[in-house]
Amino acid sequence: MAMLYTKVKLYLEANSKTWDAEENNIKLENEGSGDFISSWNVSGLDKPTDSQIASYETAGNTAESLFDILETRRISYPDLREQLDLLYKDMAADKGDKTGEWFKAVKKVKDDNPKE
């Protein structure tokens, strides 16, 4: 089940609005029975109804799955310094193609964590 935060964010994006953390224009709370919108102050956009929020369930699940995959990839990629070193060594060995070690390292991470 997608988080309320994700569904609200998608609702805002669909209506060309943003969540302004500095102005704290939206507040979510949880008093033990699940998250709810406790404060809504978005200029030109009404607070979404429960059914409007529910309509973003599938898109929210997709967005959260993609986020998880991208986060796993981010953590799994070699450190940037190591990647640059691999690229340098590949270029010096005339392996700036799919036979190089950098390409193999990045491909493994992508293959192990497909976006689908």
Give me the DSSP letters along the chain: ---HHHHHHHHHHHTT----TTTT-EEEEESSS-EEEEEE--TT-PPPPHHHHHTTHHHHHHHHHHHHHHHHHHHHSPPHHHHHHHHHHHHHTT--STTSHHHHHHHHHHHHS---
108 and 81 in one domain? yes
**In this predicted structure, what is the pLDDT of residue 26?**
96
61 and 10 in one domain? yes
91 and 47 in one domain? no
114 and 59 in one domain? no
Tens place of pLDDT per residue across the chain (116 aa): 999 999 999 999 999 999 988 888 999 999 999 999 999 999 999 999 999 999 999 999 999 999 999 999 999 999 999 999 999 999 999 999 999 999 999 999 999 999 97
**In this predicted structure, what is the pLDDT of residue 34?**
93
Domain containing 96 equals 77-116
**In this predicted structure, what is the pLDDT of residue 24?**
85
**In this predicted structure, what is the pLDDT of residue 90?**
98
Cα separation of 106 and 112, whole Å? 10
Phi-psi sector, 32: left (phi>0), alpha (psi -120 to 50), beta: left
28 and 9 in one domain? yes
**In this predicted structure, what is the pLDDT of residue 7?**
98
31 and 6 in one domain? yes
**In this predicted structure, what is the pLDDT of residue 75?**
97
66 and 82 in one domain? no
Long-range contacts of 14-18, Cβ-Cβ distance < 8 Å, separation of 24 or more? 15/45, 17/42, 17/44, 17/45
93 and 70 in one domain? no
